[in-house]
Chain A
Amino acid sequence: MASKSKWFAIRKELSSKRRLILTVFSFLIPIGTWCAVSYVPWLWHPMIEIEDTGDVSYFREGRLVKKEVFENENEIMASTGKRLASGKRANPVFLPAPHEVVNAFYAAFTTPPRRRGEPWLHESLWHSIQIIFWGFAVSSFFGVPLGILCGSYAVFSRLHEPFVEFFRYLPAPAFGALAVAILGIHDPPKIAIIFIGTFFQQILVISNTTRKLDVALIEAAQTLGAKPIQLLTRVVVPGILPDLYKDMRILLGWAWTYLIVAELVGTMTGITWFIYQQSKYRIYENVYAAIIMIGIIGLSTDLFLAWLGKHLFPWTQTKQSKVSQFLYRLFGPVNQTAFAPVKVEA
């Protein structure tokens, strides 16, 4: 009777059908709003696209003018007995209709750059992905071990975390000018911005995850004769691995949010360069397409990593019910040949 259950119940999961419906709606609502504003002529449409210039000297066919300006000019034309201009209502150029953006997804890739030597869209995207990758890789290279050490040893925690706690409040873009001064105008300062945006959060998040590992596991390992280094490599690291992996996915998402700011530093490159370039040419459908592409790449990376995680950590997938039911069905009840249990009569 799950379908009869309430839609609103605190901390209760919904049926899978309802979850699917809601997921679809979470995308349908914004897209639907966009479609409505674009395709329903009397909704918004504050501009007039001129079809016939009439006798208005500065009107050009196909150009957008504000509705008030258009009406004003036509009043003047009417009062002086000249030919009226005509046109249809339109949205501003910065709000292209959905189908135009959909077209742009293809067209943007196939349109050659305006000037020789400039990158194609796919080259810009690839450049952005590399910036993210290196920023995140360098951050993780230092951040993961440091986070684990801080979570494991009070010494490291006390020595590093207070400063890190302070530093993470400094906005990464604030270091843009410094990064350029120190690292030049090409990729290194961009990578540095991603690094600064990720690294300090990373230490804190990972040290917290490490601290959440059940101390009893460490004590159990100690009573089994594990030495300090072995505790770290054989208990702490494998013990936190699934959670660490989840943290890294979230942190990678953060790294993405620093991308545009990072690419503005020094010479503009990557997808940011593409977006600015297209908006300069007023091809806003390409701008939207590029922004949405960033989202799609980010989300699909995350979904892929989530899927991969299920296969990387098999022990987190084995819930009591299914597998043990299966084992019980194969082997019957727990084998008790080693000891016949003493019968307990009531």
Chain B
Amino acid sequence: MNVELPHYTDQTPEVKKRFDELKSRKVILDIQNLNRVFETGDGEVVALKNINFKAYRREFVCVVGPSGCGKSTFIRILAGLDEPTSGQVLVDGNSVSGPGPDRGMVFQRYTLFPWLTVKQNVMFGLEMSNHSKTESESQALQWIDLVGLEKFANAYPDQLSGGMRQRVAIARALANRPRILLMDEPFGALDAQTRCQMQSYLMQIWRNVDITIVFITHDLDESLYLADRVLVLKANPGEVQEIIEVPVPRPRNPDQFVSPEFLATKKHLDTLIHPQDDEEKDDLPIMRMTNVGDEVE
């Protein structure tokens, strides 16, 4: 199995061409010197430190990093649900100053409105922006079709499985025609098989809709399967550690999980995110276990 892996920055001409093309597109998301400091009982927590990043039109960006490194804080600031301590976020050239329909969001927790049917949930955003009822309804049905849930248009969220709920949440966010779709570990609560399915659904939606996606995950495979670029954050303080261009061509399929480019990139990501993983594993618990063993004997 000791195949020589390519370096993860090596790009085939095809991939390189795609990235050149991507970077020539319009900048949709422009994050400038973003800082976020939380004042807590025992001092300050620097959740985000000096983040600079640009995302281009129709790009798929994944954000990965260890737990507590500020991923949720990051995406909440993009959504306008949290405010930066300093720095700013521009979406389509406009400074973000609060939540708005130009940025859709899908949360890890199920946030469909339980008192509304699937159709009414998807209509919600359209009605907020003063679309007429009939127009909202016909548009909503199209989005429900797109996520393949037309038979469940009149079901309540509680009647749906987790994967179906997240598909409705995606449809609901997209129905507003946002410029950016923000997703905070949207598939984190799903079982492995459903998650795979949801990933390919999402890829197909993304291919069919003019949308830039910022997707948070702690699953490295997921990030490499979905993303054009992966933004790697490190914890304490939450800084950009590296921005990785995923050297896997598109359209992607799960066979590429074993391609050399994929494996090389994954290996690199692994070392970034779990630097001294092996040491940690050997340390404490085993000592404790031997202690317990001694007592028993």
Binding site for B on A (CB under 8 A): 214, 216-217, 219-227, 230, 234-235, 238-239, 241, 313-316, 318-320, 323-324, 327, 331, 334-339, 341-345
Contacts and interface: CB of A to CB of B under 8 A. Distances in A.
Nearest to A334: B164
B156 A217 contact: no
Given A318-B158, A334-B164, A239 B113 contact: yes
Contacts of A314: 156
B85 interface: no
Contacts of B159: 318, 320, 323-324, 327
Given A217-B111, A220-B107, A331 B158 contact: no
A224 B124 contact: yes
A226 B161 contact: no
27 contacts: A216-B111, A219-B107, A220-B111, A222-B80, A222-B81, A223-B104, A224-B128, A224-B176, A225-B101, A226-B128, A227-B128, A238-B113, A238-B116, A239-B113, A239-B115, A315-B114, A315-B115, A319-B158, A323-B155, A324-B159, A327-B155, A335-B149, A338-B147, A338-B148, A339-B201, A339-B204, A341-B200
B124 to A, nearest CB: 6
A341 B200 CA distance: 6
A261 to B, nearest CB: 38
B93 interface: no
A341 B197 contact: yes
Contacts of A217: 111, 113
B253 interface: yes
A338 B146 CA distance: 6
Interface of B: 79-81, 98-101, 103-105, 107, 109, 111, 113-116, 124-125, 128-129, 145-152, 155-161, 164, 172-173, 176, 182, 193, 196-197, 200-201, 204, 253-254
Given A315-B156, A327-B155, A335-B151, A223 B115 contact: no
A220 B122 CA distance: 12
Given A216-B111, A339-B204, A327 B128 contact: no
A345 B98 CA distance: 43
A345 B257 CA distance: 11
Contacts of B101: 223-225
A230 B145 CA distance: 27
Given A315-B158, A318-B156, A344 B124 contact: no
Given A224-B104, A339-B201, 15 more contacts: A216-B111, A219-B111, A220-B107, A220-B111, A222-B80, A223-B99, A223-B104, A239-B114, A241-B115, A313-B115, A314-B156, A318-B155, A335-B151, A338-B148, A339-B148
A316 B114 CA distance: 8
Contacts of B128: 221, 224-227, 230, 234
B274 to A, nearest CB: 25
B201 to A, nearest CB: 6
A188 to B, nearest CB: 38
Contact of A324 (B124, B145, B161): B161
B99 A335 contact: no
A331 B36 CA distance: 49
Contact of B129 (A219, A225, A238): A225
A323 B152 CA distance: 12
Contacts of B254: 342-345
A224 B151 contact: no
Contacts of A344: 193, 196, 254
